[in-house]
Chains A and B, each alone.
Chain A
Amino acid sequence: MKLRMNQAIAHAIADEMRQDSRVFIIGEDIAAAEGPFKTSEGLLTEFGPNRVRDTPISEMGFLGAAVGAAATGLRPVVEIMFAEFLGVALDQLVTEAAKFRYLSGGAYGAPLVVRASVGAGLGFGAQHSQTLETWLYATPGLKLVVPSGARTAYGLVRSAIRDENPVVVFEPRVLYAGREDVVLGEEGIIPIGTGELLAKGNEVTVVGLGQTVGTALGAAQGATWGADVIDLRTLIPWDREMVCESVSRTGRLVVVEESPFSGGWGTEIASYVSSECFSALKAPVLRITCPDVPVPYPPHLEKRFLPSVEYVREQINVLVATNKRDKPWWTKEGFLS
């Protein structure tokens, strides 16, 4: 069935709610208004206000309440409108939810899902356009998944709700309106922790996440080199096996990130692969990222900020031709080192 990503998410939540009466959804304007990004369309009508619950603007309060409810028998799905709003609730997620199982000797878990919209591309400016995976990255006890479109959104959200652990779903906001064929039902469920090989090629492995998956695929299409393009889909825990197997064949790794260069999520991938697959590598690992600046607001600069298809292709052209890493555009143009 062809669905927009926001519709696929609403379908995934509804399917889990039908099967499991413990599942409920809370967040700001998710019930009557059906979500600011329409990710809970139809849910209030079908499940009623007890299971589809609007909240005050109180992220710490309602995320904390979800942790308590999860520990005592329910399966909350929490919507955080923009990932930045997690800032005031991070304590409840990172320091409470992620530690509940550990600190109760396994007696209590916190099987909740926190969904938040992320990323640049729609002109929401510096405080509403970040990706923020690394706020959560070094937190044992959490899982983190990032869909790259409607199909993976459906499959990952369903898995996240079924998971016994706190799972964060970062939904690239720019993809909500994109339509894709979605496999509904059990067949459409995507196991957490698995990547997906979207294209096959011999010269380079290109890893993307969220909206950079489309960028990576676009760059590989019609390129002079052949690439394995991997949609990571889960960042914690990421599919080391798939990435290393691919790199052992191609000998080159490129990570395409919607993150600042310094400390972006690809640093972990690059570090691991450099150590584990050292002997297979013909070239240094290349991270293609955004510059170390806040997300600029105007469309022409926001476009410049994100790695484009052309830029990714050019960077990989150099890598494949020379086995050397090209400098990023902001270095070549003298803005940053």
Chain B
Amino acid sequence: MTTSLQLERRASLDDPIARWDRMLEIRFFEDRIKGLFAEGLVHGTTHTCQGQEAIAIAIAMTLRPTDNVCCTYRSHGIALALGMTTDSVLGEIMGREIGAIGGIGGSMHLSDSSIGLLPTSAIVGGSIPIAAGAALSAQILGQDRCSVAVFGDGASNIGAFHEGLNLAAVWKLPVIFVCENNVYGEYSRINLTTAVEDISIRAVSYSMPTEILDGQSIDSVAQGLSRAVKRARSGEGPTLLECKTYRYSGHSRADAGLYRPAGELEEWLKRDPIDLYERQLIESKLINEADGELMRNEVNLRIDQLVERVMESPLASVPAMFRNITIGNPK
């Protein structure tokens, strides 16, 4: 795949309408994935991000493509926001040659060096110290580059979070820790597993600046992230950002989320990030009410066509499983 397509998709986010379009793309993509699993057309597991689209867009529009992003198994949205194509992400999920890494990784394992996306991790907290390391290399090499770790509230209970934040603070690394506090770690509500309500408080232990942001608002996250990126690039070290958001789906495809209190999802749906941004665009007279409906139909059609294309494309080949394990060694 040529890298220009990803960079074009990334650059297009300068346009507010494209941001909204991308949020719709992520939402409908994730909805369709759930459907494909239900129909038995995809196997394994998947973790979707409906409700968290604004954070993905804010990260993509604020960072440069030369910055690094380290994230989790719930990363289809961030990958698409950063510029990966829908073919490459769905191709990976469906085990096709056109997939991001040739179809051998699946839903949890996306990566694209052209936009700085390091391999996403299926291990909770696994990518947090890695983001610190990507920032360390920028510091040592004298590059004007920063890195972002994206993780959930559940990950803040694992050792890697605390070790990664401490290292980053001690070494003043250009890294931003973005916690998507979506209220649930796997099947458990945050109050059952976490000693604090706001993950942000944990920054105090590491003398790290921190902010709580509205994860349903592109502007709130983008503004907070811009401040953190500025600090990072000017040598002032890391920041912990907590984005308050909500996971509309269960933890994974196997989880219907039945443990959620009645009415909680409905409350959050009132502040749906896509609806909020649509209203903003209408108020700014960038679109009118009718445009919204048209765009939804248009994006849905694009996803229909995407699924058809990917279903018709070749499956990952047997040689693919032998590639990229080590290099430079004789067979």
Contacts and interface: CB of A to CB of B under 8 A. Distances in A.
Interface string B150-176: 000011011110000000000000000
A300 interface: yes
Nearest to A292: B325
A300 B157 CA distance: 37
A127 interface: yes
Contacts of B330: 337
A236 to B, nearest CB: 25
A336 B157 CA distance: 41
Interface in B110-161: 121-125, 154-155, 157-160
A297 B106 contact: yes
Contacts of B106: 123-125, 297-298
A88 to B, nearest CB: 6
B109 A126 contact: yes
Contact of B187 (A29, A85, A304): A29
A293 B323 CA distance: 9
Interface string B252-283: 00100001000000000000000000000000
Nearest to B109: A125
Interface stretch (A54-62, A189-197, A213-221, A317-325): A54-62
B184 to A, nearest CB: 10
B45 interface: yes
B187 A33 contact: yes
B108 A125 contact: yes
A198 interface: no
A57 B187 contact: no
A125 B44 contact: yes
A140 interface: no
Interface string B293-331: 000000000000000000000011011111001000011
B156 to A, nearest CB: 9
B324 to A, nearest CB: 9
Interface in A44-59: 54-59
Contacts, number: 128
Contacts of B194: 56
Nearest to A334: B331
Nearest to B317: A301
Contact of B104 (A292, A298, A336): A298
A28 interface: yes
A191 B172 CA distance: 55
A68 interface: no
Contact of B155 (A32, A57, A85): A57
Contacts of B158: 57-60, 88
Nearest to A297: B106
A336 B186 CA distance: 39
B290 interface: no
Contacts of B186: 28-29, 36, 57
Contacts of A297: 44, 95, 103-106, 109
A36 B186 CA distance: 9
B207 interface: no
A87 interface: yes
Contact of A127 (B121, B316, B320): B121
Interface string A114-148: 00000000111111100000000000000000000
Contacts of B122: 84, 125, 127-128
A149 interface: no
B157 A58 contact: yes
Nearest to A33: B187
Contact of B193 (A54, A123, A291, A292): A54
Contacts of B109: 125-127, 297
Contacts of A298: 43, 94-95, 103-104, 106, 315-316
Contacts of B193: 54-57
A127 B104 CA distance: 12
Given A56-B157, A88-B159, A298-B316, 19 more contacts: A29-B186, A32-B259, A57-B193, A60-B158, A61-B157, A84-B122, A123-B43, A123-B45, A125-B109, A126-B104, A126-B109, A127-B108, A127-B109, A127-B122, A128-B122, A297-B44, A300-B316, A333-B318, A337-B331
19 contacts: A29-B188, A36-B187, A54-B192, A54-B193, A56-B188, A57-B193, A88-B158, A123-B45, A124-B45, A124-B106, A125-B44, A125-B122, A291-B322, A293-B321, A296-B104, A298-B104, A301-B95, A330-B322, A333-B318
